Amino acid sequence: MGVLNVTPDSFSDGGRHSTSADAVAHGLQLVADGADWVDVGGESTRPGATPVEEAEELRRVLPVVEALAGRGVRVSIDTRKAAVARAAVAAGATLINDVSASLGDVAADLGVAWAAMHAQGDPATMQDDPRYDDVVAEVREHLVRVAERALAAGVSEVWIDPGIGFGKTHDHNLALLAHLPELVATGLPVLVGTSRKGFLGHLLGRSDGAAAPVPTDDRLEGSLATSTWAFACGVQMVRAHDVRAVGHAAQVVGGQIEAAA
């Protein structure tokens, strides 16, 4: 799944596709690089992000969804708002990527696929001391509960995603990655997004011997390592900015090593 943020403030690609035409061109490039899905988002959910009004989010995403879907691209809409999900599906999106895991009924009503991501709290405050008794069990139980509800409501394709970085410390993120097989064992298809995220900046900074985290554009090795790990754990899709590199890594793991096993 290739990331296409049509926002001024996303943590990695914010402001890079400020016109619809630029965004559509980048979306097509993601497909040329090997993306099965292009995930269009009009609201940053990075820690501390300011919420975006519905009308503004619609203005950002709709022309891009429509243009990409019109060219046969499989588009997912990355939103927390039912109205944005509905309008994006009317414009051609066929997967609702939902970081609030609250739009299962909308997906059921519209007859599209749904990706339910775990988050603790809202982006504005989610990184203020997140706590769990058992992060792996709590995330798994929450995702299975919302997925079962959506399947019972008639959603035919439900993905689950542990929500790396959404109300989680670096240790929580690492525990969730270490225990990905437990999510895979639920039998639900698993999606994971680690691409260029903050915990990788810290891990890579540490391995360089540097005190400061490495900048977002310099985290490719971390994105590749975690995506490869996820695929080896049985995860079926990763959300990535660097689609070409991640796709090649997936091909080596899934297409070659697993086939030889």
What is the binding site for ligand HH2 (CB under 6 A)? 3, 5, 7, 10-12, 41, 44-46, 78, 97, 99, 115, 117, 161, 163-164, 191, 193, 239
- What is the distance between the alpha carbons of residues 200 and 214, in angstroms, rounded to a whole number? 8
The amino acid at 50: T
Does residue 239 carry a catalytic annotation?
A: yes
34 or 51, CB closer to ligand HH2?
51
Residue 200 near residue 223 (C-beta atoms within 8 A): yes
Beta carbon nearer to ligand HH2, 75 or 99: 99
If the CB atoms of residues 13 and 66 are measured against ligand HH2, the closer one turns out to be 13
Burial class (CB in 10 A: 0-12, 13-18, 19+), 113: buried
CA atoms of 141 and 118, how far apart (whole Å): 10
- Known active-site residue 168: no
- The alpha carbons of the chain give a radius of gyration, in whole angstroms, of 17
Q: Are 85 and 106 in contact (CB under 8 A)?
A: yes
Shortest Å, Cβ 256 to ligand HH2: 26
Rounded to a whole number of angstroms, the minimum distance from the CB of residue 97 to ligand HH2 is 5
Please check whether residue 189 is in contact with residue 236, taking contact to mean a CB–CB distance below 8 angstroms: yes
The answer to whether the beta carbons of residues 17 and 6 sit under 8 Å apart is: yes
Shortest CB 204 distance to ligand HH2, Å: 17
Q: What is the closest distance, in whole angstroms, from the C-beta atom of residue 123 to ligand HH2 in the complex?
A: 7
Q: Which residues contact 47 (CB under 8 A, 6 or more apart)?
A: 123, 126, 127, 165, 198
**CA dist 79 → 40, 62, 139, 212 (Å):** 9, 12, 20, 31
Distance of closest approach, residue 159 Cβ to ligand HH2, in angstroms: 8
From 46, 74, 196, 197, active-site residue: 197
The residue with its CB nearest to ligand HH2 is: 193
Token pair in block for residue 199: 């915990």
Task: Select 31 or 115, whichever has its Cβ closest to ligand HH2.
Answer: 115
Instruction: Give the whole-angstrom CA distance, residue 139 versus residue 117.
Output: 9
7 or 228: CB nearest ligand HH2 = 7
Helix (H/G/I), strand (E/B), else coil: 77? strand
Active site residues: 197, 239
